[in-house]
């Protein structure tokens, strides 16, 4: 036993020695304030997260590494595990505690997945720490949606979470209105991938489409299914004239789109539409079956940002110059917008967590003008919910293997 | 002293040493985090947070609970279970149902700790929910045990695999069961109550206390696992594991004994599920996939099937590597070499390699149970005996 205790003591001493020698994974130094980015670095979203981290870093670099009088550094957190290949609830819970434990950290940029945000927001809320997401589109995080929401996520009673992208309520509503009013479809098969995002947006489409007077049939596609022909045969038999893919392309989207075309015909014969969970995938662009697919993006797409030029277009050029290729996801650009909001909040604060939080949720609202924002879109954050006050929805169609912007809809 | 009592004495002494080691390890982690780190230099705090964060340590304890539960089924009774994640899910959802505002059609508070403004729903005491979680999963253990009674090896594995797929799928699709929202589907159930113990709230940031509590649950599971193995039921499980037919001929009631292993094994999953849901603050259907069942099984196999301490070591090592170990080794190596390798993405490569190496050189696991070691080395022992006999004959 004494031998074991000696070994244990040696191990602790060794650990402390290693602690003295090893550096952390962040580049924080001196009294710099830290902004954490919380993204899934493993699995299907890894590339998008890598781009987002690069965009965030470039935004900070272009700001001279400063926000007002404060020096700012970034610390990257991974909320996924290789075992799951996606965000992981335990990793999110751990990150939440780590954000709070890092006393120099004043705000968090992220998360990518709304499910992970549901775990992190309440923890940061109790620590009075700001979180700004670039990609969480689940409505219940900020507005009344499901039982107890959004109060469930704010145990302190005060808000600490904002997002720079429109929630699915807007995207689903816009999609349903486009299908019913402009495409004149009256019977829609609304599918979901059984996951949080997919179900949420499919619900939003179904509710609005039914409200407009259309007929809705609900279906789900399981990512593990080898074929969806049986489901599409059912849709064919139901007499539906439209199909909506509520979900993300990662969830066996290749098979889904192929089987839809095989059973119902291509997109010129049978109308199909998808949310931004299908945007930014080179594999989808290369599929002949995807030609003519309609899509919505809850913001300005990367193509739209580039074409609009200005600050956004210039930023994309700078990004290409630094990293050799353009960001591989429109969401990555919104990571930059979220970082701009955080930097503005830090500049307007006294450098404390509470000060940064108050800069967003008390006093003057935080606004970015179209001339400032790397998305090229101006907006203010509403202090009651943390949502943006101006929503731009981009309607796209796949033409010639490119997600082509058809029109932008501004909702104020 | 007879050989049997000497062996028993040796085993008891061995268990005592391991138990003391486990207690010291848990107390060390608790004391460091509760008393030393708050006033330690920044670098030391950062080091411990990176390599041994308390959330990861608490998560490891949950994995130990799971692995010990599965060890009863696989390690003791020799029944291959590929769907153990279902018990984790069931335990988690019991916590979701009974410790949150989710079932808002009710407003029941039984020594619970609802958050202000979220009093709707059912709010039972954490400790009561632990018991209910254990009982609920035990019942499901019996339900899954039923159709498997006549099955062996591959067929048994397939049935349990099916169970492990059905339950999580039910949780995903349970948002609308005949118009009733049972699981909130893919959105999961969030906003779980904080634990209340003797009037003291173990809240979001009371991590050392949470760690200590989950460690005590793991400790209790270790204690019961050892006592069970040494008891009549445990010996019956081991007999079934070694030779079902022989056990039956010796009067071991197969039906009852197998049922018991599923029911008792499931309790570990249920309790672990409740503990994990409390740690994360909710229960989300995304977690419960086949890979989790395989990881728990690997913890049992790599640690040493049937040996409680082997399983504890297996669970600790694999859970730590999965949670922070590989990430931090990656940081150290990348910093040293100036590379940008994403080490966690190679997790399954390393994991597979480890499994192959273990199967080649140490099939019985890190710390094997004596019987398993004997069975695994039977061929080797027979060869040695043969050589000895031949040598004796030659010398005559």
- Give the pLDDT of residue A16: 41
Q: What is the pLDDT of residue A281?
A: 80
The A residues from 151 to 170 touching B (CB cutoff 8 Å) are 151-153, 155, 157
Average per-residue pLDDT in chain A? 89
Q: What is the reported pLDDT for A320?
A: 96
A32 interfacial to chain B (CB closer than 8 Å) = no
B5 at interface of A, judged by CB pairs closer than 8 A = no
Residues of A in contact with B54 (CB under 8 A): 97
Could you tell me the fold of the domain covering A168-297? Rossmann fold (3.40.50)
* pLDDT tens figures, B6-47: 766 777 788 888 999 999 999 999 999 999 998 999 889 889
Quick: pLDDT tens for A223-256. 888 999 999 999 999 999 999 999 988 889 999 9
Residue A279 has a pLDDT of: 82
Please indicate if any CB of chain A lies within 8 Å of the CB of B44: yes
Cα angle, residue A50 at apex, residues A48 and A54 outer, rounded to 5°: 115
Low-confidence residues in chain B, pLDDT < 70 = 1-5, 7-8, 149, 375-396
A28 pLDDT higher than 50: no
Q: Is the pLDDT confidence value at A23 over 60?
A: no
Q: How far apart (Å, rounded) are the C-alpha atoms in residues B258 and B269?
A: 17
Q: Is the pLDDT of residue A192 over 70?
A: yes
Residues carrying CATH 3.40.50.2300, chain A: 27-166+308-389, 168-297
Mean pLDDT value of segment A137-146: 91
Q: What pLDDT score does B395 carry?
A: 64
pTM more than 0.80:
yes
Mutate to test the interface with A, among B102, B281, B327, B333 (most CBs of A within 10 A): B281
Q: Would you call A93 and B55 a contact, using CB atoms and an 8 Å cutoff?
A: yes
What's the mean pLDDT in A259-287? 92
Q: What is the per-residue pLDDT for A318? A: 96
Q: Which residues of B touch A93 (CB under 8 A)?
A: 55, 279-281
pLDDT of residue A18: 43
pLDDT at A27 exceeding the cut of 70: no
**Half-sphere CA count of B180, side-chain side, radius 13 A:** 7
Distance from CA of A8 to the nearest CA of B (A): 9
Could A89 and B348 be called an inter-chain contact, meaning their C-beta atoms sit closer than 8 Å? no
The second-level CATH assignment, the architecture, of A27-166+308-389 is 3-Layer(aba) Sandwich (3.40)
pLDDT for res A15: 45
Question: What value does the mean pLDDT take over residues A308-320?
Answer: 93
The domains of chain B are located at 53-395
CA distance B38 to chain A (A): 10
Q: Do B322 and A83 touch (CB under 8 A)?
A: yes
Q: Does A208 touch chain B (CB under 8 A)?
A: no
pLDDT at residue B393 in the model: 67
SS3 A132: strand
How many degrees, rounded to 5, is the angle at CA B293 between CA B292 and CA B299?
Answer: 90
Looking at residue A328, its pLDDT comes to 83
A377 min Cα distance to partner chain B (Å): 30
Per-residue pLDDT tens over the stretch A379-397 = 999 999 999 998 888 899 9
Residue B266 vs residue A301, higher pLDDT:
B266
* Residue of A20, A118, A157 with shortest CB distance to B43: A20
Interchain CB distance below 8 Å, A90 and B172? no
Best interface-test mutation with B: which of A14, A44, A83 has the largest number of B CBs within 10 A?
Answer: A83
Q: What is the pLDDT of residue B345?
A: 82
Q: Using the beta-carbon criterion (under 8 Å), do A198 and B191 form an inter-chain contact?
A: no
Check residue A246 and give its pLDDT.
Answer: 95
């Amino acid at each position: 036993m004494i031998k074991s205790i000696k070994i244990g003591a040696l191990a602790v001493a060794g650990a402390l020695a290693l602690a003295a020698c090893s550096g952390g994974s962040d580049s924080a130094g001196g009294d710099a304030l830290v902004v954490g980015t919380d993204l899934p670095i493993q699995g299907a979203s890894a590339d998008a997260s890598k781009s987002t981290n690069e965009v965030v870093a470039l935004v900070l670099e272009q700001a001279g590494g400063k926000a007002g009088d404060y020096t700012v550094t970034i610390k990257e957190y991974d909320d996924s595990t290789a075992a799951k290949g996606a965000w992981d609830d335990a990793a999110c819970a751990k990150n939440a505690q780590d954000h709070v434990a890092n006393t120099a950290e004043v705000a968090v940029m992220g998360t990518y997945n709304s499910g992970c945000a549901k775990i992190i927001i309440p923890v940061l809320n109790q620590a009075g720490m700001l979180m700004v997401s670039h990609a969480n589109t689940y409505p219940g995080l900020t507005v009344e949606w499901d039982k107890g929401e959004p109060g469930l996520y704010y145990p302190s009673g005060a808000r600490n979470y904002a997002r720079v992208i429109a929630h699915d309520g807007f995207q689903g509503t816009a999609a349903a209105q486009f299908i019913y009013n402009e495409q004149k479809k009256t019977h829609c098969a609304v599918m979901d991938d059984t996951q949080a995002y997919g179900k949420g947006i499919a619900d939003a489409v179904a509710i609005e489409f039914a409200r407009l007077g259309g007929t809705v049939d609900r279906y789900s596609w399981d990512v593990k299914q080898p074929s969806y022909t049986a489901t599409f045969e059912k849709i064919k038999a139901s007499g539906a004239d439209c199909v909506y893919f509520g979900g993300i392309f990662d969830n066996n989207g290749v098979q889904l789109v192929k089987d839809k075309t095989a059973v119902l015909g291509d997109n010129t014969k049978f109308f199909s539409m998808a949310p931004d969970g299908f945007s930014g995938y080179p594999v989808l662009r290369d599929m002949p079956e995807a030609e003519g697919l309609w899509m919505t993006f809850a913001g300005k797409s990367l193509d739209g940002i580039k074409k609009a030029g200005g600050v956004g277009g210039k930023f994309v050029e700078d990004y290409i110059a630094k990293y050799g290729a353009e960001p591989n996801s429109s969401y990555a650009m919104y990571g930059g917008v979220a970082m701009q909001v955080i930097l503005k909040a830090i500049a307007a604060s006294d450098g404390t967590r509470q000060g940064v939080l108050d800069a967003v949720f008390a006093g003057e609202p935080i606004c970015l003008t179209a001339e400032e924002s790397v998305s090229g879109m101006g907006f203010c954050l509403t202090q009651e919910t943390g949502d943006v006050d101006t929503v731009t929805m981009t309607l796209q169609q796949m033409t010639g293997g490119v997600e082509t912007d058809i029109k932008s809809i501004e909702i104020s | 002293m007879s050989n049997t009592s000497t062996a028993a004495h040796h085993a008891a002494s061995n268990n005592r040493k391991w138990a003391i080691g486990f207690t010291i390890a848990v107390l060390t982690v608790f004391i460091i985090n509760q008393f030393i780190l708050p006033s330690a230099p920044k670098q030391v705090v950062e080091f411990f947070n990176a390599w041994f964060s308390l959330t990861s340590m608490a998560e490891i304890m949950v994995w130990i609970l799971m692995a010990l539960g599965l060890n009863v089924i696989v390690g003791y009774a020799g029944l291959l279970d590929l769907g153990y994640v279902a018990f984790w899910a069931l335990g988690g959802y019991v916590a979701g149902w009974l410790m949150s505002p989710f079932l808002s059609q009710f407003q029941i508070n039984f020594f619970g700790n609802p958050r202000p403004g979220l009093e709707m729903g059912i709010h039972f005491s954490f400790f009561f929910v632990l018991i209910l979680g254990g009982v609920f999963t035990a019942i499901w253990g019996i339900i899954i045990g039923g159709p498997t009674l006549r099955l062996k090896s591959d067929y048994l594995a397939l049935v349990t695999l099916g169970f492990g797929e059905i339950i999580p799928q039910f949780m995903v699709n349970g948002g609308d069961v005949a118009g009733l929202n049972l699981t909130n589907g893919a959105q999961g159930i969030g906003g779980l109550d904080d634990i209340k113990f003797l009037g003291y709230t173990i809240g979001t940031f009371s991590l050392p206390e949470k760690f200590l509590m989950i460690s005590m649950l793991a400790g209790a599971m270790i204690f019961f696992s050892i006592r069970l193995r040494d008891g009549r039921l445990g010996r019956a499980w081991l007999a079934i594991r070694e030779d079902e037919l022989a056990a039956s001929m010796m009067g071991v009631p197969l039906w009852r004994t197998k049922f018991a292993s599923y029911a008792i094994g499931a309790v570990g999953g249920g309790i672990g599920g409740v503990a994990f849901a409390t740690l994360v603050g909710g229960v989300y259907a995304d977690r419960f996939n086949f890979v989790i069942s395989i990881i728990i099984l690997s913890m049992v196999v790599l640690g040493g099937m049937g040996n409680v301490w082997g399983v504890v070591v297996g669970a600790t090592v694999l859970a730590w590597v999965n949670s922070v170990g590989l990430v931090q080794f990656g940081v150290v190596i990348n910093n040293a070499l100036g590379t940008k390798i994403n080490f966690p993405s190679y997790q399954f490569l390393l994991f597979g390699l480890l499994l192959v190496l273990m199967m080649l050189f140490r099939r019985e696991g890190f710390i094997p149970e004596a019987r398993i070691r004997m069975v695994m080395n039977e061929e080797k022992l027979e060869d040695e005996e043969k050589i000895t006999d031949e040598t004796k004959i030659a010398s005559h």
